[in-house]
């Protein structure tokens, strides 16, 4: 296990370095600079700004300077957010996006696994068709449609939740559900497929032959094997959902990382964009590592090599 984890950590370092290098080159390849705008900046002011942020240095010097900073998790000041460093922006936005994302993923796992299991156990019934139809709709509908419907229903028609804002649990529930609904739909379909495959295995028939109750067979034996494809999906899905959703955060006025991620790219805020790209890469790789380790729990036959 320890050797496996160390190898994966080494590959994570190499992957982050490759993503950093490609992102750096692509950002510099885009025409224009961070201080170019429709309103022309006087040459003297532009030169001072470029000197302040080391943009007057040769490209290779800028690369190694930013790489050394990234190795220390220091991406420097933001070009567009005055008096803010990239670390401060991430420190303010990440807990908010992470709280929203974790609650959304909790909704997704509970609803998806429950719906998928019930659907598999009631295969080809009206309940199965209904649940899978809802799952298909959940996959097909984008977040902003689901959020708009939920706002109309649970803010205006039935005023249960506030329309927007941040600071209390009531502000979390509705956006978390809207963010997690498409993930719940995917998990439901994966769980159903996994359950149908596992329920036909020999060890399930053996468990039933021993006289175990149907609930024990499903919960203690079938469900663990059926969740392997769900665990594979949860790695990138958790990283994706924790970095924030721009649409959901904009609709519900949540001050997370989603808006910073898009604005940094549009405004050519190189340090902020680089910091968020590296953050997303580390989260994605870390979640995939946890998924690989979780395989040994869901299926004892799996060995990490």
How would residue 251 be classed by pLDDT, with cut points 50, 70 and 90? confident
CA dihedral 257, 162, 147, 238 (to 10 degrees): 40
Within a domain: residue 41?
no
Say how far apart CA 4 and CA 149 lie, in whole Å.
Answer: 46
Within a domain: residue 183?
yes
What's the pLDDT tens digit per position in 107-118?
Answer: 999 999 999 988
Q: What's the pLDDT at 40?
A: 67
What's the pLDDT tens digit per position in 273-284?
Answer: 889 889 888 888
Within a domain: residue 292?
no
17 pLDDT higher than 90: yes
How would residue 14 be classed by pLDDT, with cut points 50, 70 and 90? very high
Within a domain: residue 230?
yes
CA dihedral 292, 297, 299, 303 (to 10 degrees): 50
Q: Are 86 and 272 in contact (CB under 8 A)?
A: yes
39 pLDDT higher than 70: no
Within a domain: residue 211?
yes
**CATH number for position 115:** 1.10.3720.10
Q: What's the pLDDT at 62?
A: 87
- What's the total number of domains in the chain? 1
Within a domain: residue 29?
no
Average pLDDT over residues 61-89: 86
Q: What's the pLDDT at 244?
A: 56
Within a domain: residue 205?
yes
26 pLDDT higher than 90: no
**Would the pTM count as exceeding 0.85?**
no
Average pLDDT over residues 20-33: 82
Q: What's the pLDDT at 304?
A: 57
Q: What's the pLDDT at 301?
A: 60
Helix axes 86-121, 257-266, angle to 10 degrees: 120
Q: Are 256 and 100 in contact (CB under 8 A)?
A: yes
Q: Which domain holds residue 107?
A: 97-257
Within a domain: residue 184?
yes
């Amino acid at each position: 296990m320890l050797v496996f984890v160390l190898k994966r950590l080494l590959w994570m370092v190499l992957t982050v370095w490759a993503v950093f290098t490609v992102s750096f080159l692509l950002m510099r390849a885009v025409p224009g600079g961070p201080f170019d705008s429709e309103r022309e900046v006087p040459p003297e002011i532009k030169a001072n700004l470029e000197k302040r942020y080391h943009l007057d240095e040769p490209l290779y010097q800028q690369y190694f300077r930013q790489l050394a900073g990234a190795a220390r998790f220091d991406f420097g000041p933001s070009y567009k957010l005055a008096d803010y460093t990239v670390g401060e922006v991430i420190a303010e936005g990440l807990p908010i996006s992470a709280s929203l994302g974790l609650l959304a993923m909790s909704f997704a796992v509970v609803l998806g696994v429950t719906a998928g299991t019930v659907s598999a156990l009631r295969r080809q019934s009206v309940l199965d068709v209904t649940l899978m139809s809802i799952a298909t709709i959940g996959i097909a509908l984008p977040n902003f449609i689901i959020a708009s419907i939920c706002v109309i229903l649970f803010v205006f028609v039935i005023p249960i939740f506030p329309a927007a804002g941040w600071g209390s649990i009531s502000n979390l529930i509705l956006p978390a559900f809207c963010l997690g609904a498409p993930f719940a739909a995917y998990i439901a379909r994966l769980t159903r497929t996994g359950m149908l495959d596992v329920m036909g295995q020999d060890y399930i028939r053996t468990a039933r032959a021993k006289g175990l109750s149907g609930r024990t067979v499903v919960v203690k034996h079938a469900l663990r094997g059926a969740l392997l494809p769900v665990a594979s999906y949860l790695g990138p899905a958790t990283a994706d959902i924790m970095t924030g959703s721009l649409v959901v955060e904009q609709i519900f006025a949540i001050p997370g990382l989603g808006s910073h991620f898009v604005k940094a790219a549009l405004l050519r805020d190189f340090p902020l964009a680089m910091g968020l790209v590296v953050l997303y890469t580390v989260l994605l790789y870390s979640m995939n590592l946890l998924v690989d380790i979780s395989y040994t729990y869901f299926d004892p036959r799996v060995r990490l090599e």
